[in-house]
Amino acid sequence: MSSFDCIVIGSGNAGCCAALSSAEAGCDKVLIVDVCPDVWAGGNGYFTAGAFRTVHEGLHDLLPIVNNASKEKADSIDMDGYSGEDFLGDIMRLGNGKPDPVLAAAVVDASRDTISWLAHSVGLPFMFSFHRQAYSVGGRQKFWGGLVLCTEDGGKGLIAAHQRALAKAKVAVWFNCPAVQITMENGTVSGVVVEKEGQKLHLRAPAVVLAAGGFESNPVLRAQQLGLGWERAILRGTPYNQGDGFALAAAVGARQAGDWAGCHSTCWDADAPTDAGRRDLTNQFTKSGYPLGIMVNSAGKRFVDEGEDFRNYTYAKFGKAILLQPGGYAFQVWDSKVIGSLRKEEYGNGIVKKFLADRLEDLAEQLTEVGLEGKAEFVQTTKQFNEATRKFQAENPDATWNPAVKDGMSTQSSEYQLPLPKSNWALTIDEPPFMAVKVACGVTFTFGGLAVDPDTAGVISEKTSKVIPGLFCTGEMVGLFHENYPGGSGLMAGAVFGRKAGQAAAKLRA
Ligand SMILES: Cc1cc2nc3c(=O)[nH]c(=O)nc-3n(C[C@H](O)[C@H](O)[C@H](O)COP(=O)(O)OP(=O)(O)OC[C@H]3O[C@@H](n4cnc5c(N)ncnc54)[C@H](O)[C@@H]3O)c2cc1C
C-alpha cells in the first residue's frame, strides 16, 4: 500500500492548482491520478481559450502580469477596471439570482490574488486577450465584457505551464488510472482506491481532492439530468468527464449543489466531431460571431436576440437555444460589412465550411443542401431585419455602431419593431457577398456539482451539513453556476477552490 499527503483526482486546471497549492503549503508526497491516457492530460482545460475572469483595477493593475503589452501598445489600450461588485453581479445576474452568493463571493474575492499566484508561483504565461476580448475602435484597443486575461497559446499553453510546474514541484501524475472509490475510516477520508495496470490499489492519504470534471462527456447522464435531446449535443472537450467524481462523492454521502438541470453550451461548428473535441483545433470550432450578424433556424426564423448582451454573457446559453430548434442546428449570417471582423481562428479558410453568395436568395439555395427548410422565410427574415434596422437608423441618425460597447443600435424604432429584437450592434445585411455557417450545440461542462465550504473547498456531508473530514472539491465539480455563466469564470473558480483545497489539505498531514 502506498501513502501520500494529498491525492488529487483529475489533471485539469483545477486539479493541477490543488496539487501545486498542497505542495507549496508543505505536502511532500502529492499524487494526481487521471483516468485518461497521458496524451489527454489536462481535461477540458486543454481545450479552453485560457480565458481567466478576475477582479482588477484597470490597465495599470494587470500590466505587470502580462507578456504582450509593450509601453507603446499599452498606450493604445482602453481598459476599465472590473470590481468585485461587477464580477459578483455578473455571476448572480446571469444565474437569475440562483447561485449561492457566499460561494460566488469566495471566487470573486480571491480572484485577483489567485491570478498573481498563478502568474508568479505556478508560472502561467498571461497575456491580454486582444484577439478575443478587444476591438480596435478609432486606433484604440477597447476591451469589453469584463474579461481581459488569457494564457499564451490558450488551453495548450495553460496545461503545458501546469505540467512544468508539477514536474518542478515533484508532484507525481498517474495516467490511465481511474479513481474508483474514496475510502473512509471513522468518518474521515483515508485514501482512494484506483485501478492501475489491471490491479486495484488502495492508496492512503489524509486528504483527497475531487477534480474529476462534470458529466458532460456522458450522453446517458446528459439526457437524464439535462433532459431528452441533450444526448445529441456535440462534446467540446475531453471524453473522460463521465460523472465518475459524483458517484465517488455520493458513495461517501456528499451533498449536491448547483444546477443539475443546467450546463454551459455554445454555438459550435455543426461539422465538428460529436464525441470529443479535437486536440489540434481545440476551441476553434467555437462560432462566436453572432453579435455581428443574425442567427436563423432551419425554418428560416431568428430565435435569439443576438445583441442581447456582450458575447461573454450570452455565448454559454445560446448552445441550448440552438439545441431546442428543429433539428438542433442553425445558421449564422453576415454581409461583407462585417465578414472581415470575424475571428480568423474561428472563421478562417479551412477552419469552417463557409457558404458565400452575392444574393440572399442564392445563399438560401445553398443552405438548403445542409438543412435549411424555410428558404423563402430565410430571405424574408433577413429583409425584415434589414427594414427594421434601417428604420432605427433613420430615427437615430447619430447612433454609431461600436462592438466594444453596448451601442443600442437595435431593430426597434417607434415606427417598426421586430417581435424578437436585436438590441445592440444591428447592421443591415444587404452588401454582398453574404456569408453563412452552420452551427449546432456544443456542450462545454455541466453546472450540477457538490456543496463545498467556501473557505476550504471541503465537501459538505448531506447527513451532517458539516464538511466530510479530508474530502475537498474543485473545478467543474463544485456546484456554483446556474443557467448561464460569465465567460472565463470556470478556470478562475477552479483555480480559487483548487488553491484553497490544497492549502487546507496540507493542514491534515500526519
Ligand atoms: C472548448 C472549451 C473552451 C473553454 N474555454 C474556457 C475559457 O477560456 N475559460 C474558462 O474559464 N473556461 C473555459 N472552459 C471551461 C473550462 O474548461 C472548465 O471550467 C475547466 O477546465 C474545468 O476544470 P476541471 O479541472 O474541473 O475539469 P477538467 O479540466 O475537465 O479535468 C477533469 C479531469 O478529471 C479526469 N477524470 C474524470 N474521471 C476520473 C476518474 N474517475 N479518475 C481520475 N480522473 C478522472 C478527466 O480525465 C479530466 O482530465 C472551456 C471548456 C471547453 C470544453
416 and 475, same domain (yes or no): no
69 and 99, same domain (yes or no): yes
270 and 407, same domain (yes or no): yes
Residue 221 falls inside a structural domain: no
Among 343, 491, 492, 496, name the best residue to mutate to test ligand 1's pocket (greatest count of ligand atoms within 8 A of Cβ).
Answer: 491
Q: Is the CB of 410 under 6 A from ligand 1?
A: no
321 and 197, same domain (yes or no): no
Report how far ligand 1's centroid is from the alpha carbon of 401 (Å): 36
* pLDDT for position 1: 55
193 and 65, same domain (yes or no): yes
Give the closest residue (by CA) to ligand 1 atom 13.
Answer: 48
Going 204 to 210 to 216 to 219, the CA torsion angle's sign is positive
pLDDT, tens digit, 9 for 90 and up, residues 170-196: 999 999 999 999 999 999 999 999 999
Q: Is the CB of 112 under 6 A from ligand 1?
A: no
Q: Is the CB of 494 under 6 A from ligand 1?
A: yes
CB 472 within 8 A of CB 210: yes
- Choosing from 413, 440, 467, the residue where a domain stops is 440
Report how far ligand 1's centroid is from the alpha carbon of 342 (Å): 27
288 and 430, same domain (yes or no): yes
* pLDDT for position 5: 98
Q: Is the CB of 444 under 6 A from ligand 1?
A: yes
Residue 226 falls inside a structural domain: no
CB 305 within 8 A of CB 265: no
**CATH for 305:** 3.90.700.10
Give the closest residue (by CA) to ligand 1 atom 5.
Answer: 48
Give the closest residue (by CA) to ligand 1 atom 50.
Answer: 48
Q: State how beta strands 294-297 and 329-334 pair.
A: antiparallel
Distance CA 426, CA 390 (A): 9
**Cell numbers given for 25:** 503549503
Give the closest residue (by CA) to ligand 1 atom 43.
Answer: 34
104 and 142, same domain (yes or no): yes
302 and 430, same domain (yes or no): yes
In which residue ranges of the chain is pLDDT below 70?
Answer: 1
Quote the domain boundaries for residue 279. Answer: 265-440
487 and 363, same domain (yes or no): no
Among 181, 346, 445, name the best residue to mutate to test ligand 1's pocket (greatest count of ligand atoms within 8 A of Cβ).
Answer: 445
26 and 158, same domain (yes or no): yes
Residue 247 falls inside a structural domain: no
Task: Give the ligand 1 atom nearest the CA of 238.
Answer: 30
Q: Is the CB of 213 under 6 A from ligand 1?
A: yes
**φ/ψ bin of 460: left (φ > 0), alpha (ψ from -120 to 50), beta (otherwise):** beta
Residue 251 falls inside a structural domain: no
* Domain total of the chain: 2
Q: How far apart are the first and last CA of the chain?
A: 17
**CATH for 9:** 3.50.50.60
* pLDDT for position 432: 98
pLDDT, tens digit, 9 for 90 and up, residues 13-37: 999 999 999 999 999 999 999 999 9
Report how far ligand 1's centroid is from the alpha carbon of 440 (Å): 21
